[in-house]
Structure 1
């Protein structure tokens, strides 16, 4: 679900795959709760100051994936359900708060998938996506290998995009009054209104103590009415998120038409403090409603009470995306440049499974995706819910693997065999096989795309821009997350890799990333010199 982030709403442009020395693979070539982060309090003023604002931002504490023994766990399976929220939230900490983010706010897969990569488009008309892979030496542990797995959804022309039935559910409670909340939301939605077509319809539901419909379904051919309703929004009152959610679903169902994409877009700081009896009840409502074809996406705003984990769960339950808007450029990126991908579903319940060859691989580790992991048997289970692939969308994953000729992570056992009953398959030069399973949007028996991948001893310098830049982002994320597996990773090494792969940077996001790496390095050095009073640096 992230994913191709650089297209206008109706424009889905392709890219050229840059040549590289390291081997790259594509399926078109193959037949067939939460912890609470408390910001450091500001230094007290000599003058009388108001009571301090309590910071209640919350993030799910997810232990990072460990290395798995291929002889005991040869299969790695995950859903392609990726949101971009973590990257823009990390950017907010570095550029607006001038501090390193809390480690639990850093989700590696969301950092990696914030960026666009150059993967080929499907050549076969029946294929909704291509499956791609590449291998090189791991930059933070050269004895290991780094494997990139990339999925590219088919791009769809403007004329083929279905009409949109959008219901914006807007939090106008008192906590949304800050400039980086409701005012930023209104400015971002104005960008979207300019791109609406006559066949698109927009409704607005607000909630704050009570919920109400402030804009009935209105055609994109009447932008003045939509903008007038938007301009009249003001923040005030407590938050009754559950009541507003039920009204939004009612409006969405009433306006739903055959052949139309119906989606609720919830915009909030996540402070649901009144209304629905529990988070579980709200999640159950979202899960039930998605069966009717009404999906839910979530936009997060502001700081101080950002309920990151709650908003991510709601989007996941609603078959939607979760994005964090930290500035107007990000609002434009999410609501205009990327929004087309959410209006056309190429495939549903999309899952990836990687099988590792024990003759070539000892251990492997999936970077990120900790809350997207699936049991191996779920891959072939068509009743198991997974992510949706939208038009032109991409998903990128990285694996760090330990080859059989590298030093083992654990010494052989003395009193028993390491893996009783293990029988290797006939010798093969293949390192692994990547499989993608998906269903048609309207539902069908799942279909399979597979891609065998061979190993290489090529250095990261010979890899494509795709792998070099993804490796740079991974190093950055592991350092921010204080990963136990970061090896020799450093901000300087991440910066070198990032700047070696800026050949295609149409929107400047890669140049911005390099600046974030420099900023994190400076903040990290300062934190080492000046720990806080209780010894905690974050």
Structure 2
């Protein structure tokens, strides 16, 4: 009896101990209610820490009475005592009085007082005092930073360099720390190539709470190096380039090659022709890379998609056409000798209940590559947002594909949302990727249930890693070109990273009369499936082309910023068999040109070629001397094959930049900086921030504020 009593007492005490420790979760947001990714949450007085994900969500173990410390760069730290509730949401307020900062989390600045990890800092002054002629790195760091070892294998210069931090327990026998140089994850060999005179500071972070900032890769500590001249000022070494390329190769991501547009002479080439682009994947993908501290490949930077991610205040159309045309000409913010032109389209807005019935087929990738938390699990939650927007007259079918394709839900009315959501919940990832077979089946199902007066669309969600059957970009392009003849439109949604094939998904959307978006968070899913429900699902104009004719008496040269993968031959403008971009309900399209006025000497303008058979006299007459350019638009109604033309003339008038113009300019300038373009005129991230602040405007949704924070983090 005594033994039983002792066991019961022990069990009771164990339950009590377990009850003291509980899971606390919540959302960390800013003063506008927008989530703060990578905010730090720490149990005060302990080494327990966590960081928020892209949606601002966190989870941490704590006891009642513990104090949780919430911090984020540029915001005031906040403490909250854990009580009886398990959900603690926190809103942080901006802190205008940042003092000393240290580098942490891929170069993100943080107040020193907020750092709770064990941090040893080495400044440029101490580096110079320790500089010696031989074995510079070893002597500089070893002996100055406790426990840090840097050695070359076999003592031979050029061989592999080994870096370790003593005193950190790890199952990994080599115990190599995570190395970050100027915000980029790097290798020991890259560290060994940097001269000590170029090192501004070295931070060695070596306690268990580093995982809250850097994740599992920091289990053996973190060495954060900041160079005196910063990475954008010093010449990139071959090893650094190899390291960046290896990062991209390791992620197995692929992007279409982009050759940046150059300036063209208006006298010899007055026409500029291209297809519109409402895709927004480029911006959200770059945002993901910056937030993850990843190397950003130049081909991933699609400036037109970055600019078009944001909405602009264009007026609604007032005539029979489905969109309005708007133009603006200002002085170029980054160059005193040029002008900047903005051409904007605004699609007609329809209330959701007034949109035609939707015949939707979800085509979902459930292959093994989709098992990551940011892929299929996020996909299922995102599509539930769309399901909740459906009306009784809408229908949804679900096709999945892995090693083979199959129908998991036959066409079902939006009235039965629970049935559609249950089908989504039952999805699991595994197997290879028969994308071609899945597309064939999805289109077949969509065609069988085709609604002549409705919106017929396949919504493909995948990381783009097709490897069974029709899988190459060319094969998939031919397949989609054939399928679009059915009148079924295609929306393509990219998920996750690692195996992400942006080039494949962009091709599918372009050839399938649809749009391409990248979803990395639930916040982005809400934008696409709730805020922009109509534009995502309902096309109001297809094959929309733009042709700008510049007046050579006023314009010496011009350059289209972005749209490199959307350029068309001039004669294709009037050819109705040539495919072009689609415009959804409520969507906006913005294009920017930089122009060099006549009479301005500029390094961008090369000497014109002396032509023998073409007259050099300007064909423009006095009747047009006050015109800067004429822009023509061609589009087709969604169910028609003959195009309609619209014309808009821009006078040679320069105005003060509007808020929208300033902000669009800031986004384009940042894109040029990311691409290391030769046209951004040595501008800096600070210039982007200043320009974006001027154009921030009302910013009801907070997306512009998020962009400014992103640049502040990146710089």
User: Any idea what SS the aligned residue of 1:59 has?
Assistant: coil
User: Any idea what SS the aligned residue of 2:296 has?
Assistant: coil
Question: Of residues 577, 588, 591 in structure 2, which corresponds to 1:394?
Answer: 588
CA distance in 2, matches of 1:421, 1:512: 52
Q: Does structure 2 conserve the Cα–Cα contact (< 8 Å) formed by 1:100 and 1:480?
A: no
Establish whether residue 180 from structure 1 lines up as the match of residue 347 from structure 2.
Answer: no
Establish whether residue 80 from structure 1 lines up as the match of residue 80 from structure 2.
Answer: no
Deviation at 1:419, TM superposition (A): 9.0
CA distance in 2, matches of 1:411, 1:244: 51
Q: Does structure 2 conserve the Cα–Cα contact (< 8 Å) formed by 1:134 and 1:147?
A: yes
Map of 1:15 onto structure 2: none
CA distance in 1, matches of 2:561, 2:646: 22
User: Any idea what SS the aligned residue of 1:143 has?
Assistant: coil
Map of 2:263 onto structure 1: 67
Q: Does structure 1 conserve the Cα–Cα contact (< 8 Å) formed by 2:317 and 2:348?
A: yes
**Distance of aligned partners of 1:172 and 1:108 in 2 relative to their CA distance in 1, 3 Å threshold:** same
**Larger displacement relative to structure 2 (172-181 or 276-285):** 276-285
CA distance in 1, matches of 2:489, 2:321: 24
Establish whether residue 108 from structure 1 lines up as the match of residue 336 from structure 2.
Answer: no
Deviation at 1:504, TM superposition (A): 2.3
Deviation at 1:405, TM superposition (A): 2.4
Establish whether residue 118 from structure 1 lines up as the match of residue 313 from structure 2.
Answer: yes
Q: Which runs of 4+ in 1 moved over 6 A?
A: 41-47
Map 1:446-457; keep pairs closer than 5 Å: 446-457=643-654
Deviation at 1:444, TM superposition (A): 5.2
Q: Which TM-score applies when normalising by structure 2?
A: 0.64
Map of 1:237 onto structure 2: 431
Map of 2:626 onto structure 1: 429
Q: Does structure 1 conserve the Cα–Cα contact (< 8 Å) formed by 2:278 and 2:583?
A: no
Number of matched pairs: 474
Map of 1:509 onto structure 2: 703
Q: Does structure 2 conserve the Cα–Cα contact (< 8 Å) formed by 1:286 and 1:314?
A: yes
RMSD: 2.2
Deviation at 1:45, TM superposition (A): 7.2
Map 1:58-457; keep pairs closer than 5 Å: 58-95=254-291, 97-124=292-319, 126-276=320-470, 278-408=472-602, 409-410=604-605, 412=607, 416=610, 420-424=614-618, 425-427=620-622, 428-443=625-640, 445-457=642-654
Decide which structure has the larger Cα Rg and report it.
2
Deviation at 1:80, TM superposition (A): 1.0
Which string of whole-angstrom CA distances, capped at 9 and with x for unpartnered residues, describes residues 97-117 of structure 1?
213411110000000000000
**Distance of aligned partners of 1:220 and 1:371 in 2 relative to their CA distance in 1, 3 Å threshold:** same
CA distance in 1, matches of 2:509, 2:611: 45
Q: Does structure 1 conserve the Cα–Cα contact (< 8 Å) formed by 2:528 and 2:536?
A: no
Q: Does structure 2 conserve the Cα–Cα contact (< 8 Å) formed by 1:267 and 1:301?
A: yes
Q: Does structure 2 conserve the Cα–Cα contact (< 8 Å) formed by 1:131 and 1:449?
A: no
CA distance in 1, matches of 2:598, 2:288: 42
CA distance in 2, matches of 1:70, 1:319: 32
Unmatched runs of 5 consecutive residues or more in structure 2: 1-183, 188-215, 222-246
Map of 1:16 onto structure 2: none
CA distance in 1, matches of 2:676, 2:256: 16
CA distance in 2, matches of 1:81, 1:412: 32
User: Any idea what SS the aligned residue of 2:578 has?
Assistant: coil
Q: Does structure 2 conserve the Cα–Cα contact (< 8 Å) formed by 1:167 and 1:202?
A: yes
User: Any idea what SS the aligned residue of 1:382 has?
Assistant: coil
Which string of whole-angstrom CA distances, capped at 9 and with x for unpartnered residues, describes residues 1-28 of structure 1?
xxxxxxxxxxxxxxxxxxxxxxxxxxxx
Deviation at 1:457, TM superposition (A): 4.7
CA distance in 2, matches of 1:269, 1:40: 26
Deviation at 1:366, TM superposition (A): 0.2
Q: Does structure 2 conserve the Cα–Cα contact (< 8 Å) formed by 1:121 and 1:129?
A: yes
CA distance in 2, matches of 1:467, 1:390: 22
Q: Does structure 2 conserve the Cα–Cα contact (< 8 Å) formed by 1:141 and 1:488?
A: no
Map of 1:12 onto structure 2: none
CA distance in 1, matches of 2:322, 2:654: 32
Deviation at 1:332, TM superposition (A): 1.3
Q: Does structure 1 conserve the Cα–Cα contact (< 8 Å) formed by 2:185 and 2:293?
A: no
Deviation at 1:343, TM superposition (A): 3.6
CA distance in 2, matches of 1:253, 1:210: 20
Q: Does structure 1 conserve the Cα–Cα contact (< 8 Å) formed by 2:529 and 2:536?
A: no
Which string of whole-angstrom CA distances, capped at 9 and with x for unpartnered residues, describes residues 240-259 of structure 1?
11111111111111121221
Q: Does structure 2 conserve the Cα–Cα contact (< 8 Å) formed by 1:263 and 1:297?
A: yes
**Larger displacement relative to structure 2 (63-72 or 333-342):** 333-342
Unmatched runs of 5 consecutive residues or more in structure 1: 1-37, 522-538
**Larger displacement relative to structure 2 (285-294 or 433-442):** 433-442
